[in-house]
Amino acid sequence: MCLLTLEMLALSLSRPPGQRAYYLDGQYLVSVRYPGQWHDIREFIQPSNPDVLAVYSQFGPDPWSLYDFVCRNIDYRRDVGEFWQVPSETLASKLGDCEDTSLVLCSLLRNAINAHVALGIFQGYGHAWVELNGQILETTYTSARPVPDPEDYCTYVIFNDQEMIELWPDALEDIFSLRRSEVTKLNLIAEAIGNEVPPECPSLWPPLVVGLVTGGILGASFAMILHEGEYKGRGSSSK
Dihedral sign, CA of 160, 123, 64, 146?
A: negative
Query: If phi over 0 gives left and psi between -120 and 50 gives alpha, with beta otherwise, what is residue 102?
Result: alpha
Contacts with 66 (C-beta within 8 Å, 6 or more apart), sequence order:
55, 56, 59, 60, 105, 108, 109
pLDDT beyond 50 at 228: no
Show me where the domains of the chain are located. 2-42, 44-175, 183-232
Buried-exposed string 86-107: b where 16+ CB fall within 10 A, e elsewhere? bbebbbeeebbbbbbbbbbbbb
Higher pLDDT, 213 or 28: 28
In this structure, what DSSP letter does residue 126 have? Answer: E
Q: Would the pLDDT of 13 be above 70? A: no
Q: pTM of the prediction? A: 0.77
β 95-96/153-159 pair status: unpaired
pLDDT at 16: 54
Q: Provide the CB-side half-sphere exposure for 156 (13 A, CA).
A: 19
Residue 88 confidence class, pLDDT cut points 50, 70, 90? very high
pLDDT tens, 27-77?
999 999 998 899 999 999 999 999 999 999 999 999 999 999 999 999 998
Which position has the higher pLDDT, 26 or 202?
26
**DSSP-H helix ranges across the chain:** 2-14, 50-59, 63-73, 87-93, 98-109, 171-175, 182-192, 205-214
Q: Please say if the pLDDT value at position 207 is more than 50.
A: no
- In this prediction, residue 229 carries a pLDDT of 30
Burial readout 108-128 (b: 16 or more C-beta within 10 A, e: otherwise): bbbbeeebbbbbbbbeebbbb
Is the pLDDT score of 213 beyond 80?
Answer: no
Q: Which fold has domain 44-175?
A: C8orf32 fold (3.10.620)
Determine how many CB atoms are found less than 10 A away from the CB of residue 27: 15
